């Protein structure tokens, strides 16, 4: 396998669904670090949330936030760094940022429009920090950071499949997108797959031939899994793989969350 690059989801994949721990993935993480393989986090989490986990992981690679809304590349990582055609680089807190998503204020306006049309949705922007902590299982400190969003609005919508279909149609009619992880997410014209494509292009420019690997657990990971050479799906907390994920060449790892992450990478990387 030549020049592997790993793209990974966090919640329910590298991180345990309930404890947010990556301890069960430590053997594979140690191997990845020892071999100098880039580990690129692609999560629905915000920049500050991902930075906290990058520090714990001693990870210094690029990452993608809020379901592909933003790409953050540490200064000097790709030198020289030339933005892909049609995209713009901005500097932010030691990173070069590429923005793919719609501004958060625009997403909040769409949430209000949808509510006025009869959809009973409750976004993170409608909740207090304590309420976000309650629905996520995060501490209040972590929940406060989770509410500092730029490109993605997670929300609750308790409805049947028919009502969800109508919501998807209403969102599409407004020119926006909907995806699902642990929560529903309102997005602009972005997803994890588009962010992976941009980053993979930058790695190819740097290294030539690369082998791309991605690991996820849910529907919002499908665009990412579709864009890589080795797509890997880990089991959900109920012990089954998400049946909605249909990707050519998909490897269904044995193990829930970080346990499946660990097993799959140890086997793949040998």
Q: How far is CA 210 from CA 28, 83, 88, 133, 240, in A?
A: 20, 19, 24, 39, 31
* List 9, 16, 150, 242, catalytic entry: 9
Q: Is 126 an annotated catalytic residue?
A: no
Q: Where are the alpha helices (DSSP H) in the chain?
A: 26-34, 47-57, 104-116, 129-136, 140-146, 161-173, 192-207, 222-226, 258-269
For the CA atoms of 160, 165, 166, 167, the dihedral, rounded to the nearest 10 degrees, stands at: 90
Q: Give the closest residue to 4 by CA, choosing from 265, 206, 212, 267.
A: 212
Active-site residues, by number, are 9
């Amino acid at each position: 396998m030549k020049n592997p690059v790993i793209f990974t989801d966090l919640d329910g994949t590298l991180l345990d669904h309930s404890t947010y721990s990556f301890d069960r993935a430590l053997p594979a993480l140690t191997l990845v670090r020892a071999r100098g393989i880039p580990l690129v986090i692609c999560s629905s989490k915000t920049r500050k949330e991902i930075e906290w986990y990058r520090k714990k992981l001693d990870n210094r690679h690029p990452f993608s936030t809020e379901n592909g809304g933003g790409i953050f590349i540490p200064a000097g990582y790709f030198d020289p760094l030339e933005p892909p055609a049609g995209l713009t680089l901005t500097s932010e807190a030691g990173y070069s940022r590429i923005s793919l998503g719609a501004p958060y204020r625009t997403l909040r306006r769409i949430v209000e429009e949808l509510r006025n049309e009869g959809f009973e949705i409750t976004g993170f922007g409608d909740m207090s920090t304590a309420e976000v902590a309650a629905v996520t299982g995060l501490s209040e400190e972590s929940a406060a950071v989770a509410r500092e969003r730029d490109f993605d609005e997670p929300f609750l919508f308790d409805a049947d499949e028919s009502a969800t279909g109508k919501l998807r149609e209403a969102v599409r009619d407004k020119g926006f997108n909907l995806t699902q992880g642990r929560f529903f997410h309102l997005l602009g014209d972005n997803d994890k797959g588009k962010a992976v494509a941009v980053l993979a292009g930058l790695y190819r420019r740097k290294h030539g031939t690369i082998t791309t690997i991605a690991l996820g657990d849910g529907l919002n990971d499908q665009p990412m899994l579709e864009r890589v050479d080795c797509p890997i799906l880990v089991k959900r907390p109920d012990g089954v793989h998400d049946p909605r994920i249909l990707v050519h060449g998909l490897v269904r790892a044995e193990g829930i969350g970080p346990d499946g992450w660990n097993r799959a990478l140890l086997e793949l990387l040998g």
